[in-house]
Amino acid sequence: MKVYDMLGKLVDNQIMDATQVEAFEIGANYPSGVYNVIVSQGDNLKTVRVIKR
């Protein structure tokens, strides 16, 4: 999982096992703003835009 701010700066980069995903919290320490979260598993890729208030 990689997290980028709206300027394209890499904010977070995590490699985790599938068993860790359920208890993982994204962005707890991020400042307010808009982020792109990119999650990849094998050939699958999903991008989600997240707004932190």
Domain extents for the chain? Answer: 2-52
33 vs 39: CA distance, rounded Å: 19
Bridging pattern class, strands 33-41 and 2-5: antiparallel
pLDDT in tens, 4-46: 999 999 999 989 887 777 777 888 889 999 999 999 988 999 9
pTM over 0.85: no
Under a CB-based contact definition with an 8 Å cutoff, are residues 5 and 51 in contact?
Answer: no
Q: What DSSP assignment string belongs to the chain?
A: -EEEETTS-EEEE----GGGGGG--SSTTPPSEEEEEEEEETTEEEEEEEEE-
